[in-house]
Amino acid sequence: MAEVTITLKDTPSGGVSVHAKYEPGLRVPCTNAQLAALEIIRRTTRDWGMPPAPAADKPSSHHGDI
């Protein structure tokens, strides 16, 4: 079963830092949990007017400030 961990933290500048950790499957559709996590990240980015995160270095996880 898929597990997605999203961590939201306040930043010193008054923004929000979003970190997500999950193991995507290669050539496997996203699970419902992964789709929900991606939607939460998209909404947070849109609602807070944050720039998109840089591409992750590792294909197995997404880390970065949004």
Task: Report how far apart the first and last C-alpha atoms of the chain are (Å, whole number).
Answer: 27
pLDDT computed for residue 55 by the predictor: 64
| Partners of residue 6 on adjacent β-strands | 20
> What value, to the nearest 5°, has the Cα angle with vertex 11 and ends 5 and 14?
125
pLDDT computed for residue 12 by the predictor: 92
Q: What count of Cα atoms within 13 Å lies in the side-chain half-sphere of residue 19?
A: 7
**pLDDT tens track for 7-63:** 988 989 888 788 888 777 778 888 888 888 889 888 877 777 666 666 655 445 545
> What value, to the nearest 5°, has the Cα angle with vertex 35 and ends 24 and 32?
90
Instruction: With 0.75 as the threshold, say if the pTM is over it.
Output: no
pLDDT computed for residue 65 by the predictor: 53
